[in-house]
Amino acid sequence: MQPRSVDALLSELRNELRRKSITARDLAARMGVAEPTMRRWLHGKGLLLDKLDQLCRAADIDMRELVGGLPDSRQSQFTYAQERALAADRVLSFLFFALLNGAEQDSFQREFKLPRARVDAYLQTLQRIGLIEYEPGRRIRVLTTRNVAWRPAGPLSKAFESTVRHFFLSMDFSAPDAAYVSDMVRVSSLGRARLHALFRAMRLEAHKIAQEDMEANLNQCDWTGLLMLAHPFDMNTVAAGSDPGS
């Protein structure tokens, strides 16, 4: 088995553990090992294939289903109809991406203070448009990859432009909880493509951090927006804002 496959299996296993609300501490107790050891195993350190099978059995997960649910077997881009449905309702869109990133429907209902019937209606819509399905025990399985893509000028892109972008651009950059880095570099179009690839990798690392926070049972976790941006400056516009004689 190639290392990439092992990483994918572990990623899927962590997703399943999250959906079952099983923490690293719970799983360590079931297998009779120390919690730090379990955390290392769950991130592929010192983990052998037979131990992975034991992890699955301890968590009551069928390893065959785990293999069948590898992220690269899932939908990697929204259909146009899915984009339109998500773009038309901000809460529906947030629910889907929350589920995609490991949230439970009960926690979503609690944090948004929504009636259970309304959340159920949203879930039925997501199921109808092919973004989720129900598994035994009413567990929800998301049918897209974590980094599912949408069209650059499609409905979701336009919805971001009109309703979401201002959440980022209106932030108080001097606030204590605002973490950002800004800089400018002189790069080619190829260099910007490499930066974009770096952003995608950083996005996955951010999800790993969120997963580790969840496994550590840390309190006071907030939904935190991430925006990684690279765009060429119009130097004429930059220069127009400068007056050397002032």
Instruction: Quickly state the pLDDT bin for 19 (edges 50, 70, 90).
Output: confident
> CA–CA separation, 50 vs 142, rounded Å?
27
Asked whether residue 28 falls in the same domain as residue 68, the answer is yes
Residues 103 and 133 in one domain: yes
The lowest-confidence range among 63-72, 180-189, 196-205, 219-228 is 63-72
Contact between 47 and 56 (Cβ < 8 Å)? no
Query: How many domains, in total, are found in the chain?
Result: 3
How large is the average pLDDT for residues 115-131?
93
Average pLDDT over residues 61-87: 76
Cα gap 17→90, rounded to integer Å: 28
Which of 37, 72, 107 terminates a domain? The answer is 72
Instruction: For residue 125, list its beta bridge partners.
Output: none
Tell me, yes or no, whether 201 and 226 share the same domain: yes
| Residue 52 in domain | yes
Q: Are residues 62 and 85 in the same domain?
A: no
* 112 assigned to some structural domain: yes
Asked if residue 30 and residue 94 are part of one domain, the reply reads no
One-letter amino acid at 147 equals N
* Spatial distance between the Cα atoms of 66 and 62, rounded to a whole number of angstroms: 6
Residue 7 lies in a domain: yes
The label of the residue with tokens 């009413």 reads 138
CATH, residue 34:
1.10.260.40
Residues 193 and 226 occupy one common structural domain: yes
Task: Please say whether the beta carbons of 58 and 31 come within 8 A.
Answer: yes
Alpha-carbon Rg for the chain, nearest whole angstrom, is 21
Last residue of a domain, one of 72, 90, 119: 72
Write the pLDDT tens digit of every residue in 33-60: 888 888 888 887 877 666 777 788 788 7
Q: For residue 96, name the pLDDT band (cuts at 50, 70, 90).
A: very high
Q: What's the rounded Cα separation, in Å, for the pair 47 and 148?
A: 28
Maximal CA-CA distance, the chain: 74
Average pLDDT over residues 214-219: 73
At residue 64, the pLDDT reads 62
Determine, yes or no, domain membership for 139. Answer: yes
Compute CA distances 3 → 9, 10, 47, 76, 175, whole Å: 10, 11, 11, 21, 41
Half-sphere exposure of 147 (CA within 13 A, CB side): 12
Residue 120, domain extent: 74-150
The set of residues, in sequence order, having a beta carbon less than 8 Å from that of 181 and lying 6+ positions away, is none
Residue 95 shares a structural domain with residue 61: no
C-alpha 243/C-alpha 246 separation (Å) is 6
pLDDT band at 122 (very low <50, low <70, confident <90, very high): very high
What distances in angstroms separate CA 165 from CA 180, 188, 199, 226, 229, one per listed residue?
16, 26, 17, 11, 12
Q: Which amino acid is at 7?
A: D
pTM comes to 0.59
Q: Please state the length of the chain.
A: 246
Give the C-alpha distances (Å, rounded to integers) separating 153 from 75, 83, 96: 20, 11, 20
